[in-house]
Amino acid sequence: MAQQKQNHQPPFPQGLIFDCDGTLADTMPLHWRAWQAVAERYNLALTEQRFYALGGVPARDIVKLLLAERGLALDHLAIAGEKEAAYLPLIAQVEPINAVVGVARESYGRIPLAVASGGTRKAIEQVLNRLGIRHLFQTVVTSEDVVRQKPAPDIFLEAARRIGVPPQFCRAYEDTDLGMKAIRAAGMEAVDVRTLLVKREAAGVGRAA
């Protein structure tokens, strides 16, 4: 009797990719504090609601947008540098989002992990080191590594390339609408961290608990 052929499906996922700010690390309130100081200094129209809506967009691009709206001919890179300078000292206050960090810890050593962040390399590396999780990730891709930023898929595609996993076999974690669009555009499974956190809070588990 002929043996039935078995359909061997590859395990899924084969790689995990994480945003950093607001996904692995509870940094967004600290970023907002830094942005408030810069926006007030240059009279830029940035509300807290709009700041969160722009999550994942590099600071230099946000400044460029805000300056254009005001018709101001200022150096957007220099102002973005001021925002970064205001934020970096706050990294000492960063706490992990353990609902997501736990996923990374559990998967470490089993499948390759990467970070794909719209932040700067200097800031993201400092945050990951502050949380003691830098070693979990095979690679860290930041805004300096790609031309097109979220919601374009480039940063996630680059992360997948670096860990050697086809995009369709990757699962990625994000906390913003722009980030979720980028993941889906890359052809990956998208996990909305906001939904994950709501479920944990409903179960009585804190954000950084």
Mean pLDDT of 11-22: 94
* DSSP structural state of residue 176: S
Q: Which residues of 39-75 are buried (b: 16+ CB within 10 A; e: fewer)?
A: beeeebebeeeebeebbbbbbbebbbebbeeeeeeee
Verify whether residue 192 is a known catalytic residue: no
pLDDT digits (tens, 9 = 90+) for 129-176: 999 999 999 999 999 999 999 999 999 999 999 999 999 999 999 999
Find out whether 119 and 30 touch, Cβ atoms under 8 Å: no
Q: What share of the chain is helix, strand, coil (3-state, %, to 5)?
A: 55, 10, 35
In order of 25, 95, 110, 151, 182, the CA distances from 208 in angstroms are 9, 7, 24, 27, 26
pLDDT (tens digit per residue) in 62-115: 999 999 999 999 999 999 999 999 999 999 999 999 999 999 999 999 999 999
Under DSSP, the state recorded for 193 is H
* pLDDT of 1 strictly over 70: no
The pLDDT assigned to 4 comes to: 47
pTM of the complete model: 0.88
Compute how many other C-beta atoms are within 10 angstroms of the C-beta atom of residue 178.
Answer: 17
Helix (H) or strand (E) holding 140: strand 139-141
3-class SS at 40? helix
CA-based nearest residue to 24, from 113, 148, 144, 152 = 113
Tokens of 170: 């990757």
What backbone torsions phi and psi does residue 165 show, to the nearest 5 degrees? Answer: -120, 130
Residue 183: burial class (beta carbons within 10 Å; 0-12, 13-18, 19+): buried
